[in-house]
């Protein structure tokens, strides 16, 4: 898309939805096994975090998979290709989804409530979640998503400034798979005073995670379940790297919120939820907000029904019983627990209806009613 066409298209995005168009069906890709058609592409950009191996193979060191990629092939994420023994990313500066969204949609509840963010995403993912709500992007390669915008890091930051939004969020698909682009946008944003959020599945390796966190203000991280078998079966992933990532974000002092998408009959077991909440409290502390989100039938799990509201309320009760102070229920517009309440006096501190914010009863980060400090980023 030409730059002038991109800017014209973006003018409609603030009130619209995510932009993406597909041309081909998704296909299963094994780590390091996908041949890359043609020769070197103009869109390729040098990748970070990889090790050269014998025979012009490389090992990608960006995520927990550490794919071994032969020359001419791509890794599990589809976005990182080995061209003659050097690793490149094919999605740098080529977002397939750009929009202005409420910060609450991330979800991010203790970060500039009522503000908007410029959201950016590309194609593909390093997980294969069968229940993905954004599968149109995450489960396709960049070649299968026809709507690709040319947007440099500097242009992304200027776009956020022109739109008057205080933050940029990397979301829709897993930011790990467009790490180099995210990193350069984040570096530009920090210099310009624009804040950075990203929403991650937690599969990034420690070194790149720590490196990007130096330019990051807040992270929303999915904790999809609390059994490795769940991760392997439904996501083709693993639990331990996610737990390590959660601890790293907290240790690095970056604001963290956790999302648990509740699939009826799969990750709503009482004992599993108790174990998860105990781990969060012990390893991350009681003040990390925990969002229980309602599942709607999607992708390969359209046979399921939406999560019963009573199930979500049971999850909330378990979290409170285990000492988690800030618990919300998401994707149920109008539910009381869309809003946030002071853990000390129980009064309403941030009123929400789905993604819209009403009253904010905070004074300099403290509950207006009892003066209890409420952790978060408020200004």
**Token digits for 60?**
């990608």
Query: And the tokens for 99?
Result: 């929009």
Residues 117 and 189 grouped into a single domain: yes
- Kindly tell me the sign of the dihedral angle through the C-alpha atoms of 222, 223, 225, 230: positive
What would the mean pLDDT of 313-319 be, rounded to a whole number?
A: 98
What is the strand order of the sheet 218-222 is part of? 97-102, 116-121, 167-170, 195-200, 218-222, 255-262, 290-294, 327-330
The verdict on residue 27 lying in a domain is no
Question: In the block, which residue shows the tokens 């990889």?
Answer: 50
Are 84 and 196 contained in the same domain? no
- Let me know whether 316 and 350 are in one domain: no
What pLDDT score was predicted for residue 6?
A: 39
Mean confidence (pLDDT) of the chain? 90
| 79 and 158 both lie in a single domain | no
User: What percent of the chain stands above pLDDT 70?
Assistant: 89
What are 219-229's pLDDT values in tens digits? 999 999 999 99
CB atoms within 10 A of CB 368: 17
pLDDT value, residue 91 = 96
Please report the pLDDT score of residue 57 as a whole number.
98
- Residue 293 and residue 175 share a domain: yes
- Shared domain check, 346 and 227: no
Shared domain for 103 and 236, answered yes or no, is: yes
Assess if residue 141 is contained within a domain: yes
Residue 15 lies in a domain: no
Q: Cα 118 to the chain's mean position, in Å? A: 14
Query: E strand or H helix at 154, and its extent?
Result: helix 153-163
Q: Please indicate, yes or no, whether residues 81 and 108 belong to a single structural domain of this protein.
A: no
- The H or E element that residue 89 is part of is strand 86-89
Same domain, 51 and 142: no
Which of 35, 60, 89 is where one domain is finished? Answer: 89
346 phi-psi bin (left φ>0, alpha ψ -120 to 50, beta other): left
DSSP 63: B
DSSP state of 27: -
Question: Are 205 and 354 within one domain?
Answer: no
Q: Alpha-carbon distance 19 to 112, whole Å?
A: 25
Res. 51: pLDDT tops 70: yes
Asked if the model's pLDDT at residue 42 lies above 90, the reply is no
Average pLDDT of 297-314?
97
Q: pLDDT (tens digit, 9 = 90+) per residue, 60-96?
A: 999 999 999 999 999 999 999 999 999 999 999 999 9
Strand partners, 257: 220
- Peptide linkage before 91 cis (omega within 30 of 0): no
Q: Is residue 376 part of a domain?
A: no
Summarize pLDDT for 138-194 with one digit per residue, the tens. Answer: 999 998 987 788 999 999 999 999 999 999 999 999 999 999 999 999 999 999 999
What's the whole-number mean pLDDT along residues 125-136? 97
The distance in angstroms from the start CA to the end CA of the chain is 37
The domain boundary, picked from 52, 71, 89, lies at: 89
Q: What is the domain range of residue 352?
A: 339-371
Average pLDDT over residues 42-53: 91
Among 89, 124, 152, give the residue marking a domain's end. Answer: 89
For residue 67, being part of any structural domain is answered with yes
Mean pLDDT of 283-297: 98
Radius of gyration in angstroms for the set of CA atoms belonging to the chain, rounded to a whole number = 20
User: What pLDDT digit, counting tens, does each position of 101-130 carry?
Assistant: 999 999 999 999 999 999 999 999 999 999
Q: Is the pLDDT of residue 255 over 70?
A: yes
Residue 240, burial from CB neighbour count under 10 angstroms (0-12, 13-18, 19+):
exposed
Domain-located, residue 225 = yes
Model confidence at 365: pLDDT above 80:
yes
Measured distance CA(362)–CA(358) in Å, rounded:
12
pLDDT at 10 over 90: no
CA dihedral for 311, 171, 176, 97, sign (positive or negative): positive
Write down the pLDDT at residue 78: 96
Looking at the structure of the chain, the number of domains it has is 3
Report whether pLDDT(5) > 70. no
CATH code, domain carrying 165: 3.20.20.70
Q: Do 185 and 303 sit in the same domain of this protein? A: yes
Q: 3-state SS string over 235-299?
A: HCCCCHHHHHHHHHHHHCCCEEEEEEEECCCCCCCHHHHHHHHHHHHHHCCCCCCEEEEECCCCC
Q: Whole-model pTM?
A: 0.91
Percentage above 90 pLDDT, the chain: 87
Do 299 and 347 reside in the same domain of the chain?
no
- Indicate if the pLDDT at residue 43 is higher than 80: no
Residue 331 domain-assigned (yes or no): yes
Distances (CA, A) of 363 to 181, 290, 358: 37, 23, 15
Q: Is the dihedral of CA 215, 280, 232, 260 positive or negative?
A: negative
Per-residue pLDDT at 25: 32
Query: Residue 291 and residue 326: Cα distance in Å, rounded?
Result: 9
- Does residue 4 belong to any structural domain of this protein? no
């Amino acid at each position: 898309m030409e730059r002038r066409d991109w800017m014209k298209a973006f003018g409609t995005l603030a009130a619209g939805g995510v932009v993406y168009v597909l041309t081909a069906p998704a296909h299963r890709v094994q780590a390091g096994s996908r041949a890359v058609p043609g020769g070197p592409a103009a869109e390729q950009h040098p990748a970070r975090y990889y090790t050269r191996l014998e025979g012009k193979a490389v090992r990608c060191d960006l995520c927990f998979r550490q794919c071994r990629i032969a020359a001419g092939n791509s890794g599990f994420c589809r976005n990182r290709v080995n061209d003659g023994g050097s690793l490149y990313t094919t999605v740098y500066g080529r977002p397939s989804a750009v929009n202005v969204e409420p910060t609450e949609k991330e979800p991010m509840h203790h970060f500039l409530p009522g503000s908007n963010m410029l959201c950016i995403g590309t194609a593909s993912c390093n997980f294969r979640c069968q229940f993905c709500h954004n599968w149109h992007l995450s489960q396709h390669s960049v070649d299968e998503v026809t709507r690709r915008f040319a947007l440099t890091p500097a242009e992304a930051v200027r776009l956020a400034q022109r739109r008057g939004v205080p933050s940029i969020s990397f979301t829709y698909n897993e930011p790990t798979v467009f790490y180099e682009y995210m990193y350069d946008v984040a570096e530009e944003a920090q210099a310009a005073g624009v804040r950075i959020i990203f929403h991650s599945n937690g599969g990034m390796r420690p070194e790149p995670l720590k490196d990007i966190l130096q330019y990051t203000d807040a992270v929303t991280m999915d904790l999809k379940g609390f059994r490795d078998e769940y991760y392997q079966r439904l996501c083709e992933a693993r639990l331990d790297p996610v737990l390590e990532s959660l601890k790293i974000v907290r240790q690095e002092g970056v604001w963290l919120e956790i999302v648990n998408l509740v699939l009826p009959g799969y990750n709503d077991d009482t004992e599993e939820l108790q174990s998860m909440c105990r781990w969060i409290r012990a390893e991350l502390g009681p003040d990390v907000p925990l969002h229980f989100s309602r599942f709607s039938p999607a992708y390969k799990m359209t046979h399921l029904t939406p999560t019963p509201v009573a199930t979500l309320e049971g999850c909330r009760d378990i979290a409170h019983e285990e000492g988690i102070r800030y618990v919300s229920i998401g994707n149920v517009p109008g539910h009381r627990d869309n809003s946030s309440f002071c853990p000390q006096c129980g009064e309403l501190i941030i009123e929400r209806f789905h993604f819209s914010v009403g009253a904010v009863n905070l004074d300099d980060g403290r509950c207006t009613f009892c003066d209890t400090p409420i952790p978060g980023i408020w200004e």
